[in-house]
Structure 1
Amino acid sequence: MPIAYQHCSWRKESMLKSLKFTAITLGLMCAAQAMAATDLTVISFGGANKAAQEKAFYAPWEKAGNGKIIAGEYNGEMAKVKTMVDTKSVSWDLVEVESPELARGCDEDMFEELDPKLLGNAADFVPGAITTCGAGFFVWSTVLAYNADKVASAPSGWVDFWDTKKFPGKRGLRKGAKYTLEFALMADGVAPKDVYKVLASKDGQDRAFKKLDELKPNIQWWEAGAQPPQYLASGDVVMSSAYNGRIAAVQKESNLKVVWTGGVYDFDAWAIPKGSKNADAAKKFIAFMLSPEQQKTYSQNIAYGPANTQAVKLLDKETLQNMPTTPENIKDQVQMDVAFWTDNGESLEQRFTAWAAK
């Protein structure tokens, strides 16, 4: 009997130790998971763009147990970001920015630096997508759009856009120097790849304004992105510069078409405000959003091109027709030169405003 008693006592003690060890192990695992799951405050421009982000990025990230995405919106007010950084009270972990604001934020040390190696294979991204402190996650283009019901034949580029004899009718152009001057030079025979080289000189700028003089009587200006498709659909204009996503959104109920040749493309990017307490997790989230699968899902929900070209291979033919980043669509486009417009934007916009008012 004493032997049996000792045996039971030993087994009981062994089981207790085992249970205690298991509890400790599970506790450590749960603690590790809790530490790994970091909630992130992500600020975007909202609208359909935010809805696409939620489907492609936020929901899958949360489902994988990485933490909650607290999604907010803003109107691009960089002053808010700067104030948070300067006062060391950063509450945003990621913010969506356009290229000029990204460049300014980098120059003013407002954003955390990124290691490109952590974001994927550099060769997979559209040139210009990855910078020192930002990662472009979609590409949009300002392109030539036309109403196929209003023209006898399809225009091939900006030379045709300026040819009001061959293609009678009004033209829509954005009321501003940016993009408009680039298109004027292309209409005057400058190759897309050489546009900023020519526009950098006083002679090149004069040349662009002189070309605009030719078209001025036939121009109907637009200021909001929703206007070009409206003008085209109503027949107010037969061709217009336009944002590609705006045209894609109405193509099912209209006969509006896009000419990609001579388009000017740009990125929206993610940046991490300097001083974010969750910078490491935010960097991992950026890498996740730039993966081919997430990029594919994003482009399936909104007509913006994936910054990761590997995602192009995953998209169906119909979706690819509206993507600025497919090889056939991007080959004759030019990237908007942020440095040029940072240096020359104020003076050229002033000159344009004075010219348009005459």
Structure 2
Amino acid sequence: MSKIVAALLALGIGANQAMAAEPLTVVSFGGTNRDAQDSAFYKPFTEKTGIPVLAADYNGEMAKIKVMADTGNTTWDVVEVESPELMRGCSEGLFEQLNWPAIGRREAFLPEAVSPCGVGIFIWSTVLTYNSSKLASAPRSWADFWDTKRFPGKRGLRRGAKFTLEFALLADGVKKEDLYKVLATREGVDRAFRKLDQIKPDIQWWESGAQPLQWLAAGDVVMTSAYNGRVNGAQQEGQPFAIQWNGSLYDLDHWAIVKGSKHKAAAEQFIAFASQAQQQKGFVQRIPYGPSNIATLDLLDRTTANNLPTARQNLANARATDTEFWLDNGEELEERFNAWASK
């Protein structure tokens, strides 16, 4: 044993940590989300364990993860994924099965946050947002979003079938409780596309979470769909943006470990650390996404708690995204959407 390792052991630092503090690559969706993760998770984890975190961004491309899992050339360790991608990737063997005793007690989390291959990080919402200084009256629903006479100008939507088709049906009068029943039928899908036809020339499609808020600030759009945490970040920078929670769609993002990760034990150690209530509190205080650890809510002040998607008043007219529906129908609907959008 070397003198260095012996000295580190004398200080209470394990031999494995002392000799092999290889970097852990953690990949997320970037932007203010990554900034909050860096402050609440990455830096404190490194300070506690000595394991460096290499932070990287992506746009949720499962193709990259599939190539790594299929070839065994895995360069990512922990990735942030949305619910449908987690379930699909787990069933296809793209993610490692988690050793839950190394993560924590399942009962400590929201039920939706617990799965064989993933641990929920936070609940987020896609909301309708607008510049309150530029509109004479506030839009109150997705029907108002479609009202180009009362609210003339471009409006932003995420380029893809997911969320877009739901918002179209909500704008057309479908009740949130019936949303996926209607969308599960051929008639319902046709209805959604007919509704989108009504405002197609007025839509500006966004592909990254930062774009809709940039467009809103520049006046390129009068209103847009956006992730609630991004809106809050813009508000903190002084932008007069407002959120309409009515008709919002919420879901979870999860931590998963890419199949073939060479640092699985360290990856589970990171996930366990980032999932603690105190760490999630630090994250939520920087970006208002709902925590997955149940105990976190007791640590938050009322103002912070009221800005979360999980606040009672914000959930009142919201709808959970149906993960099973998008697993079963996503590929077909995305193909149809892309063909429609490219015309």
Structure 1 length as normaliser, TM-score?
A: 0.78
Matched residue, 2:264? 279
Query: Is the counterpart of residue 101 in structure 1 residue 77 in structure 2?
Result: no
Cα distance in structure 2, aligned partners of 1:165 and 1:67: 58
CA–CA distance in structure 2, aligned partners of residues 119 and 189 of structure 1: 43
Q: Which structure has the larger Rg over C-alpha atoms?
A: 1
Partner of 2:47: 63
The within-5 A match list for 1:25-44 is: 33-35=14-16, 39=21, 41-44=24-27
1:350 aligns with 2:335: yes
Per-residue deviation at 1:296? Answer: 0.9
CA distance in 2, matches of 1:257, 1:117: 42
2-side partners of 1:77 and 1:222: how far apart?
16
- Which of 39, 51, 57 aligns to 2:35? It is 51
Distance 1:51 1:233 in 2: 21
Amino acid at match of 1:177: A
Q: Distance in 1 between matches of 2:179 and 2:8?
A: 62
Partner of 1:179: 163
Unpaired runs of 5+ residues, structure 2, are: 1-5
Distance 1:89 1:225 in 2: 29
Q: In the alignment, which of 322, 328, 333 is matched to residue 318 of structure 2?
A: 333
CA distance in structure 1 between the aligned counterparts of 2:222 and 2:34, rounded to whole angstroms: 32
Kindly state the Cα deviation for residue 106 of structure 1 after the two structures are TM-superposed: 0.6
Unmatched tracts of structure 1, length 5 or more: 1-24
CA drift at 1:78: 4.3
Aligned partners of 2:163 and 2:218: how far apart in 1? 24
Paired position in structure 2 for 1:262:
247
Q: Report the AA paired with residue 199 of structure 1.
A: L
Using structure 2 for the length normalisation, give the TM-score: 0.81
Amino acid at match of 2:259: K
Residue deviations 1:66-87, cap 9 Å, x none? 3413324253554554454445
Deviation of 1:132 (Å): 1.6
Corresponding position: 1:214 with 2:198: yes
Change (3 A) 1:207 1:112: same
Whether contact under 8 Å (2:25, 2:75) holds in the other structure is no
* Structure 1 residue 199 displacement after superposition: 0.7
Query: Contact 2:31–2:210 (CA<8 Å) still a contact in 1?
Result: no
**Which moves more between the two structures, 235-244 or 33-42?**
33-42
Deviating more after overlay: 231-240 vs 255-264: 231-240
Residue-by-residue CA offset, 1:131-183 (whole Å, 9 max, x unaligned): 22011212332111122223333332213323345545543323332211100
Aligned length: 333
In the superposition, relative to structure 1, how do residues 327 and 79 fare at CA in structure 2: closer, same or farther (>3 Å)? Answer: same
Which among 283, 300, 304 is matched to residue 285 of structure 2? 300
Q: CA deviation at 1:294?
A: 0.3
Contact 1:126 1:325 in 2 (8 A): no
Counterpart selection for 2:131 from 147, 150, 164: 147
User: Once the two structures are superposed, what CA deviation does each residue of 1:314-349 show, in whole Å capped at 9, x if it has no partner?
Assistant: 233443454323333234323333333333333323
Over residues 288-324 of structure 1, what are the superposed CA-to-partner deviations in whole Å (9 max), with x where a residue is unaligned? 2111110011122334332224323323344345432
> Are 1:204 and 2:188 matched, yes or no?
yes
**Once the two structures are superposed, what CA deviation does each residue of 1:71-115 show, in whole Å capped at 9, x if it has no partner?**
242535545544544455555442333334323321221222225
Would the alpha carbon gap of residues 47 and 234 (structure 1) be closer, same or farther in structure 2, given more than 3 Å must change?
A: closer
1:228 aligns with 2:212: yes
Letter in 2 for 1:253: G
Q: Percent identity over the alignment?
A: 53
List per-residue Cα deviations over 1:18-48 (Å, max 9, x = no partner): xxxxxxx999776873347774613213554
For 2:260 and 2:208, the matched residues in 1 are separated by 35
1:237 to 221, 237, 243: 221
CA contact (8 A) 1:172 1:240 kept: yes
Match of residue 290 from structure 1: 275
Cα distance, 1:126 vs. partner? 4.2
Q: Distance in 1 between matches of 2:264 and 2:300?
A: 31
